[in-house]
Amino acid sequence: MFACQKCHGNVVKSLLQDNAKIDITDKEGQTALMVACNNGHYVNVNDLTCYNAQIDMLDNLCDTGLMYACRKGAEDIVKTLLINNINVKVENQDGWTCLVFTCCYGHINIVRLLLNHKPAVKLKGNAFETALSNATKTRHHEIAKFIREHGEEEESCNNGRNSMASLDCEEFENSGCCDLQNSEEKERKRKRWFSKVLKISIKVLQVKSSATDSAAIPMF
C-alpha cells in the first residue's frame, strides 16, 4: 500500500508477483487500489487490476476507487476501471456517486465516459442534490449543459420507443394486411402503415432537435 502511495511501480509489480495480499485495508478502509486511484498512479492501478484486485470494495466512508479517480481527474484510471466493469451507481455514505464527484470537480471528459455507462444521473444524495445541481452550484456550466442535454435526449428516446411500441406487430396484423388477397392492395396497406411509423419517428427527432437547441445554462 505504501508502494502505491509513492508510485513505486517496480516494487508494486514485484510484490504482486510474490503473491502479496492485494485487498487488505488500512485503518480508513482503503485498499492499495484506492490509494493508487487517489494518487493518480495509472501504472499501479493497471497492475493491480491485472492481478484481480477487488475494484468494487468500499472504504469506511463507502467511497470506491472509481470515486477517488473521478475526484482526482485521472481519466486513464477511470477508463481502466470502467473496462473492468466497476459499478458506476454505487453511493457513498452521503448518497454521492462517482458522477456527482466528477461534476463537482469539473472533469467533463470523465463525465462523458461515465454517461456512456448509464450512471444514475437523476439520483439524489442525502441532501437532495443531483449531479446536475452540483455542476450548476460549482459553476461548471459546460458540464451542467452537457448533463441536461443528455437527460433530454434520453427522455426523448424513451418517448420515441414508447410511441413505436404502440405500433407493434399485433396492430399490423389487426390492420388487415395479413388477410388481404389482392397483392397490390396489400402493398398499399403496408406502405400506409409504415408511413404512420415514419411520421412518428420524424416527430420524435424534431422534439429531440428542439430540446437540444433550447437547452441553455445561464452564466452567473
Taking residue 170's Cβ as centre, other Cβ atoms within 10 Å add up to 8
Note the pLDDT of residue 120. Answer: 81
User: Mean pLDDT per 10-residue run, the chain (220 residues)?
Assistant: 52 70 90 93 91 93 96 96 95 94 94 90 83 91 89 52 46 48 61 63 60 48
Give Cβ neighbours of residue 134 (< 8 Å, ≥ 6 apart). Answer: 100, 103, 104
Note the pLDDT of residue 165. Answer: 44
**What gap in Å lies between CA 80 and CA 49, rounded to an integer?**
8
Note the pLDDT of residue 19. Answer: 73
**What gap in Å lies between CA 49 and CA 4, rounded to an integer?**
13
Note the pLDDT of residue 220. Answer: 40
Determine the length of the chain. Answer: 220
Give 79's Cβ-side CA count (13 Å radius): 6
CA neighbor of 87 nearest in space, from 116, 64, 115:
64
Note the pLDDT of residue 219. Answer: 45
For residues 94 and 115, the answer to whether their CB atoms sit within 8 Å is no
Residue-wise DSSP of 112-134: HHHHTT---TT---TTS--HHHH
C-alpha cell at 172: 399490423
Taking residue 24's Cβ as centre, other Cβ atoms within 10 Å add up to 10
**What gap in Å lies between CA 62 and CA 78, rounded to an integer?**
18
Residue with cell 441553455: 216
